[in-house]
Structure 1
Amino acid sequence: MGIVNVPNGLSVSRLFLGASALGLIHAGMFGWALVLFLLAAITDTLDGYVARLLHQETAFGRQLDPMIDKLLIAAVLIFLVAVPGGGVPAWMVAVIVSRELIIQWLRSMMEGKGVAFGAKSAGKLKTVLQCAAIVAALLALAMAPDAPSWVVSARDVLLWAAVLLTIYSGVEYFAAAAPLLREDRAGG
């Protein structure tokens, strides 16, 4: 099965939506950035569903989808760190981006060995929490300076939850890959 298919097209569309959202964040148009980010998040839900529905699941797609997720989330978070009063601490973004790069490397290694290493439940929930935190941050910025305290509190709680689950799911991925990594070391 080729790499040009509907689910991979949805994944790639997320790149364009994300790049547009970044431009809007840079321009201070946080409400519109929120709309585009939400559309991008919807394509993330759709691509996996469509891949299963159309029987178009591929090793390429298993790597493309999470890589684009990581690029989108990392880029938006980095842009939000730069927004004065954005409420997104740089250290949290550093933890999230570091974990994402390490797990993408691990996924690539496993897929290179012919081992399907798709997303786990905690990893999927982590992505949902990261997206929810970004939505809350963009909403708070769009409503600033009159953002209700509950929106700001929701942003902060979601950011902390996303960071904690990001760390937990990273450990879970390493635990799943450890036996294969040990086999490699013992065999080589």
Structure 2
Amino acid sequence: MNIPATNPDPGIWTGPNILTLSRLFWAIVLFVCIAYEWWFAGLIVFGIAALSDWLDGVWARRANLVSSFGRNMDPLIDKVLICGAFIYLIPIPDAQIAPWMVAVVVGRELLITGIRGIVEQAGIAFGADRYGKWKMILQCVMLIVFLSVQTFRLEWGWSEIGGTLHQWLYIPLVWATIGMTLFSGLQYLWKATVLLSRPKVNS
């Protein structure tokens, strides 16, 4: 997302940026819900967080309030939300999230954040591509499905429906998510290597 040179940066305290920052609060509430196994509440909270993630970008673009702060803070808070949720799911047996899976998710985010900083410091744009977006979508869908499954089985008494969704939808989603996380991370690494290997053209 590029800001036209004629438009000044609107600064930090804009509506879209406040909405972005509010997602940090919802992330903390989500972690509490997972820790105490309040599954339906967690599902609602994650839905609010996901909605705010979509809404802040739409609002910023339509109101011409795209800012440097928002462009950097939005993906950072997304990482806190997703990585934190994965970490809190480790001790939940039904989640079937192994520590190595969390290491893949967190390690990928740290690596790509570092790489993006290096590439952009060299004056090269290095935003999210379709693989990174697919990865984020899969992670969100996986979390929504798990929170829904736990709500069905443990809070609403729909054990048969929840069990079926857990086996035939949630478990495949876990592996698809980890696979896409690995693939997108390696793809970003390769892309950065190619970009940084190009000879610089002196203007």
TM-score normalised over the length of structure 2: 0.82
Structure 2 letter corresponding to 1:160: W
CA distance in 2, matches of 1:49, 1:138: 26
- State the partner residue of 1:56: 65
CA distance in 2, matches of 1:33, 1:57: 30
User: Secondary structure of 1:116's partner?
Assistant: coil
Does structure 2 retain, via aligned residues, the 8 Å contact 1:87–1:137? no
Does structure 1 retain, via aligned residues, the 8 Å contact 2:135–2:180? yes
User: Secondary structure of 1:104's partner?
Assistant: helix
Q: 1:109 aligns with which of 102, 118, 124?
A: 118
Q: Does 1:164 align with 2:179?
A: yes
Q: 2:196 aligns with which of 173, 181, 187?
A: 181
- State the partner residue of 2:131: 122
Q: 1:85 aligns with which of 79, 94, 97?
A: 94
CA distance in 2, matches of 1:184, 1:70: 32
CA distance in 2, matches of 1:169, 1:112: 21
Q: Does 1:41 align with 2:56?
A: no
The superposition leaves residues 20-57 of structure 1 with CA deviations (integer Å, 9 ceiling, x where unpaired) of 11111111101101110111111112222222222233
- State the partner residue of 1:69: 78
Distance change >3 Å, CA 113–CA 49, structure 1 → 2: farther
CA distance in 2, matches of 1:138, 1:181: 41
Aligned-residue Cα RMSD (Å) equals 2.1
Distance change >3 Å, CA 109–CA 56, structure 1 → 2: farther
What percent identity do the matched residue pairs reach? Answer: 36
CA distance in 1, matches of 2:62, 2:100: 39
Count of residue correspondences: 185
Alpha-carbon shift at residue 13 of structure 1 (Å): 1.1
- Which sections of structure 1, spanning at least 5 residues, go unmatched? none
- State the partner residue of 2:163: 148
- State the partner residue of 2:40: 31
The superposition leaves residues 83-137 of structure 1 with CA deviations (integer Å, 9 ceiling, x where unpaired) of 2333223222221111111111112223334433221111111101001111112
Alpha-carbon shift at residue 177 of structure 1 (Å): 1.7
CA distance in 2, matches of 1:64, 1:181: 25
Q: Rg: which structure is higher?
A: 2
Does structure 1 retain, via aligned residues, the 8 Å contact 2:19–2:52? yes
Does structure 2 retain, via aligned residues, the 8 Å contact 1:62–1:118? no
- State the partner residue of 1:16: 25
Does structure 2 retain, via aligned residues, the 8 Å contact 1:5–1:56? yes
CA distance in 2, matches of 1:174, 1:8: 29
